[in-house]
Copies of this chain bind each other. A is one copy, B any other.
Amino acid sequence: MEFFNFVELMPKISIKGKNMPASPIRKLAPFAEQAKKNGVHIYHLNIGQPDIETPHQFWDAIKKIDRKVLEYSPSDGFEEIRKKYAQFFQKRYGLHNLLPEDVLVTTGGSEALMFTLFSILDRDDEIIIPEPLYANYIGFSKSGSINVRPIPTTFENGFALPSIDEFEHVINPKTKAVLICNPNNPTGYAYSDEELHRLKEIVLKHDLFLISDEVYRDFIYSDNQHYTSIFSFPEIEQQAILVDSLSKRFSACGARIGMVATKNKEVLQTVLKFAQQRLSPPTVEQLGAIAMFDVENDYFTKVNIEYRKRRDVLVEGLNAIDGVKCHTPGGAFYCIVQLPVDDADDFCQWMLSDYSYENATVMMAPASGFYATEGKGKNEVRMAYVLNREDLKKAIKCLEEGLKVYNTKK
């Protein structure tokens, strides 16, 4: 095979992107695949892929598509979906200032985030993100040579927003934006009204953009909590950028439909340039999504009640295990769980490659990947409670037994 000689001679053929961190949510997938091939059932607590049915309106709509040519849509999405998106936010959340012309439809929340970061941060600029944080924020930032400046939130105080002092401690001339995820992935924390006002003050005082990833906004579990969006503050309307996705709201992760919304026209025009480069979001999925906004009102109530029950089953079950600690998340469908292990990465992989209980095992996301700070989260995992309660109970039992075996071996 003569070409191997060439390869050996090639100093330049190095893969520049290889320092990109692997997704903690998906990096163990090959071990899970192997376990499945060995006949082991996997309880997937690693990924926010809900088992809730997608509204039938989506499936009905795509069956009724009567087109001959599968054309591009406009780069910012069909006008109809931008209208529906805005109407939905107006009606359901009372955000009456969110208009169709403020909305740009993206290929999932992922693209919305990436285009937003690329639009407002130059290379070597800094963005402040409370940590632990959604792992892919780090990757999107690295793609644009943007530096993530984490500020810690802690297990002990339930991952509440850091103080103004803590923000000001890291703000410097390179700081251009703050990014929050509310309710939070991976912690499940739902920011209070007071905390959002605090954020507003910080970005006003220091002239920063505030990006709010609110893709889990329909998942808030405390009865008395009024949900506040960053879009509610007119004082920062030129600084606020809302990122959204239909994935979780409608259990439609595979649709890859999200959006950026902002009243700042210059930001939206810049995001549009990135959107034009990739031509358009998927056409069929947009046509399905347009119909999906007409879902029955009680869909969200039912789903919310179900998730709250799941949360309670998980939190109670986990805290009953010796050495396991889990706070009670106020929103989203994730929690950070402390385990009695030194190296959760090793433990999570071992659960897939070396262990099964009643022919099943549990897949979790090691939390180290949700920290931008090296060395943090070593004894933590992120769990997504996206399974029915029976399966959650079985997964907890499986984890409990697994911990015993793992810690005996060591």
Q: Interface residues, chain A, CB within 8 Å of chain B? A: 1-3, 6-7, 9-13, 15-18, 20-23, 25-27, 29, 47, 49-54, 58-59, 62-63, 65, 67-75, 107-108, 110-111, 114, 118-123, 125, 136, 139-140, 143-145, 176, 204, 206-209, 234-239, 251-256, 266-267, 269-271, 273-274, 276-285, 288
Contacts and interface: CB of A to CB of B under 8 A. Distances in A.
B70 A207 contact: no
Contacts of A108: 278-279
B277 A139 contact: yes
A75 B26 contact: yes
Given A207-B11, A234-B3, A73 B254 contact: yes
B267 A253 contact: no
Nearest to A137: B277
Nearest to A29: B74
Contact of A18 (B143, B237, B266): B266
Contacts of A120: 15-17
A209 B13 CA distance: 7
A238 B14 CA distance: 11
Given A63-B63, A273-B17, A3 B236 contact: yes
B253 A70 contact: yes
B273 A284 contact: no
B273 A107 contact: no
25 contacts: A3-B235, A6-B204, A6-B235, A6-B238, A16-B119, A17-B120, A22-B276, A23-B75, A27-B276, A54-B67, A54-B70, A62-B62, A63-B63, A70-B252, A71-B254, A72-B254, A73-B254, A114-B278, A123-B123, A143-B274, A143-B277, A254-B283, A254-B284, A256-B281, A282-B284
Contacts of A12: 176, 206-208
A283 B255 contact: yes
A270 B17 contact: yes
A77 B381 CA distance: 26
Question: What number of copies of this chain does the assembly contain?
Answer: 2
B143 A118 contact: yes
Given A16-B125, A62-B284, 13 more contacts: A2-B235, A7-B238, A15-B119, A15-B120, A15-B270, A23-B75, A53-B69, A70-B255, A71-B254, A107-B107, A144-B145, A256-B280, A285-B285
B270 A13 contact: no
Given A17-B118, A273-B23, A284-B254, A278 B111 contact: yes
A113 to B, nearest CB: 9
A277 B23 contact: yes
Which of A107, A125, A136 is the most central at the interface, judged by chain B CB atoms within 10 Å of its CB? A107
Contact of A254 (B118, B270, B280): B280
Contacts of A27: 276
A366 to B, nearest CB: 14
Contacts of A70: 54, 58, 251-255
A110 B254 contact: no
Contact of A9 (B207, B237, B285): B207
* Nearest 6 A/B pairs, CB to CB: A254-B283, A17-B119, A16-B122, A23-B276, A110-B278, A139-B277
Contacts of A22: 273, 276
Contacts of A68: 53-54
A187 B68 CA distance: 28
A277 B136 contact: yes
Contacts of A139: 273-274, 277
